[in-house]
Structure 1
Amino acid sequence: MTAPAIPAHLLPAGCPRAPAEEYDTALLDLDGVVYAGPAAVPHAVDALHLAGRAGMRLAYVTNNASRTPGDVADHLTRLGVPTGAHDVVTSAQAAARLVAEQVPAGSAVLVVGGRGLDEAVREHGLRPVGSLADGPAAVVQGFDPGVGWPQLAEASYAVAAGLPWIASNTDLSLPTDRGRAPGNGALVGVVRAATGAQPQVAGKPMPVMHRESMLRTAARRPLVVGDRLDTDIAGAVNGGVDSLLVLTGVTTARQLLAAGPGERPTYVAADLRGLLAPHPAVTAAAAEEAFRCGGWLARVADGRLLLEGHGPDPVDALRALCAAAWTALDRTGAVPALDPAAAAAEALLRTP
């Protein structure tokens, strides 16, 4: 019996060549992908060097608006990845462009954030100010660890007065070397709670950020690389480009298996070494809703996700599980019961 072809939406997909050879530019997220806090993610530096040698341009696209592109480039260079400011695209830059399209040239803009947002606003000929009393034409808000009640209060006064409100991003959490900390989305939530207003959002997953990335990198065939389904992968889906999810940041195997169509990556890898090797294809088995990858078989039976087999690469098990879980979700509208298959996949991924 011939196995049916897998519809295109049932990715992860196979890639017969290493993605570093297949795509001209990697649009890499930073936090949780390249580094966590001040330290590099394991294997990231070597993988990026090898991807560059294979001919892939490396560009860094981050929702973190607190630092300037130069600051980010310096950090990457210190980690052993030589980078220039022109290789970095931030949500602050996307937000500043969105502001500049809505206010007169030279306008004052109330900036709630750090140096990265200040610099991006100035790049568009606008003037950062810190109070509603300074006569701003708009409010732009981005993450900075120094943002406190006085800045959030000024933002609330300005938003309540009817000024356009642009948020660099709405990520609720920010990965650090100590764990997850509140992100810009948590701070945006304070202003939202105080005013009842909703901001325009510039960062991932919104098309504004994808546009900014394409304008600044001139990528012809980009691959988005990230660790978050709701920003990196959803942003790639919104932009109509392929994506690679790495499991070094916030997304767990369980969350990936429950992903809806708008948050499904093209490829999955344990870390950035996924740029350097071909990705095996997932194939449909003869049994209904059963899928193979490597030596693993995943299927859904009686509403439960099941995994069997063995193989040298635990990510192959996760790829097969994704195909089975996503097929069932699309067919029934409900996520199949993930235990114990998800637990088994997570245990395999933790095995050295």
Structure 2
Amino acid sequence: MSGGLLASPEPLARRYDLALVDLDGVAYRGHDPIPHAAQSLAGARTAGMRLVFVTNNASREPASVAEQLSGLDIPTTAEEVMTAAQAAAALLRTRLEPGARVLVVGGAGLVTAVREAGFEVVDRADDEPVAVAQGFHPEVGWKQLAEAAYAVRGGAWHVASNLDLSLPTEQGFAPGNGALVGAVQAATGVAPDSAGKPTPAMYRLAVERAGATAPLVIGDRLDTDLAGARAGGYPGLHVLTGVSTARDAVLAEPGLRPDYVGEDLRSLHEAHPAPEPRADGWWVCGDSAARVEDSQVRLDVRGSATVDTVRVVAAAAWESADAGRPVDPDGVPELPVGRH
């Protein structure tokens, strides 16, 4: 390991036997495909890497997600999808007996997952549920949130599929499940338990289901995908096609840092060199070099910025921060790599 990044002389699709792939920002953006995603994932399968798509979205059933992916030229079965709804149902099983009543706030994916876990689904606090399972659905409104608040106030266990505050759409970022969960929490004063990323529960379920020995997490968000990878002890690839930018990675706290950085999913088929430190304080990778001086990042790049540039800036910034000399965010140069 150099500068906190891992080196892989061989393509990641050959080094790891399972890819735990996030959806929005990695495989697609809203209803639109992300360039190179379909071809790169097909090539990964050809190289022997299995795929499981792991999403914090709990509103849809796995078959629906698989159908969308297949329509984007990423052939997928329902068994290759792991949703936060399934993780929430698994979390409920750790405390509740089969047949227990659960008030579900969310879409069909969460309703199905809770029922398949052996619980009775209800939609009113008057039904005396012992738990509330809450996941995102665009039609969730005040009435459902109020019923959840009444139940939680009455002692029901509040389980959220995830706590993402924002949700990427074609128009930009909209309120996510975390924002809706926050309304219930504000009304009750009770903090919920969460089953989705950044907790590693879904990753562990997916790895167990696949019987994998060398999984790799792939995501675009440091605070969910990559934080979950760190929490679960899995190596993580940050692709620069979604929410978190290269600059975000450079400034990331240790628990959010990726092990690999790639411009997009083509990076599954590339070697990943790690930056190397020089005696004069510079970190070097390819045609890029960086060091930290007086909390400012100094950069020396021959040609245009590349992923190697991101690697050396991250290595220099992380080393400095870990030594108690954090980089001034205003001292990090623009890194025009990837599509943000």
Shift in Å, 1:207: 3.2
Question: Aligned equivalents of 2:33 and 2:310: distance in 1?
Answer: 25
Shift in Å, 1:97: 1.0
Question: Aligned equivalents of 1:163 and 1:136: distance in 2?
Answer: 6
- The change in CA–CA distance for 1:58 and 1:350 in structure 2 (over 3 A counts) is closer
Which residue is equivalent to 1:28?
Answer: 21
1:49 to 42, 54, 59: 42
2:52 to 59, 65, 78: 59
Question: Aligned equivalents of 1:217 and 1:171: distance in 2?
Answer: 26
Shift in Å, 1:337: 2.2
Which residue is equivalent to 2:106?
Answer: 113
Which residue is equivalent to 1:14?
Answer: 7
Native 8 Å contact 1:141 1:166 kept in 2? yes
Give, as a single letter, the amino acid of the residue that structure 2 aligns with 1:331: A
Which residue is equivalent to 2:95?
Answer: 102
Which residue is equivalent to 1:336?
Answer: 327
Identity %: 51
Give, as a single letter, the amino acid of the residue that structure 2 aligns with 1:174: L
Partner-residue secondary structure (3-state), 1:287: coil
1:302 to 294, 300, 310: 294
Which residue is equivalent to 2:255?
Answer: 262
Native 8 Å contact 1:305 1:339 kept in 2? no
Which residue is equivalent to 1:236?
Answer: 229
Deviations 1:296-328 (A, max 9, x none): 011001121111122566111000000000111
1:327 to 298, 316, 319: 319
Question: Aligned equivalents of 1:340 and 1:274: distance in 2?
Answer: 28
Which residue is equivalent to 2:63?
Answer: 70
Question: Aligned equivalents of 1:9 and 1:233: distance in 2?
Answer: 18
Give, as a single letter, the amino acid of the residue that structure 2 aligns with 1:134: D
Aligned residues: 340
Question: Aligned equivalents of 1:99 and 1:166: distance in 2?
Answer: 8
Q: Does 1:134 align with 2:101?
A: no
Which residue is equivalent to 1:5?
Answer: none
Question: Aligned equivalents of 1:43 and 1:350: distance in 2?
Answer: 12
Larger mean CA deviation between 321-330 and 203-212 belongs to 203-212
Native 8 Å contact 1:19 1:277 kept in 2? yes
1:213 to 206, 209, 214: 206
Query: 5 Å matches for 1:178-189?
Result: 178-189=171-182
Question: Aligned equivalents of 1:73 and 1:17: distance in 2?
Answer: 29
Unaligned regions of 5+ residues in structure 2, if any?
none
Question: Aligned equivalents of 2:291 and 2:339: distance in 1?
Answer: 22
TM-score, length-scaled by structure 1:
0.93
Question: Aligned equivalents of 1:339 and 1:268: distance in 2?
Answer: 22
Larger mean CA deviation between 34-43 and 211-220 belongs to 211-220
Q: Does 1:198 align with 2:185?
A: no
Larger mean CA deviation between 151-160 and 206-215 belongs to 206-215
Question: Aligned equivalents of 2:190 and 2:307: distance in 1?
Answer: 42
Larger mean CA deviation between 299-308 and 334-343 belongs to 334-343
Partner-residue secondary structure (3-state), 2:139: coil
TM-score, length-scaled by structure 2:
0.96
Which residue is equivalent to 1:148?
Answer: 141
Shift in Å, 1:258: 0.9
Shift in Å, 1:107: 1.5
Partner-residue secondary structure (3-state), 2:323: helix
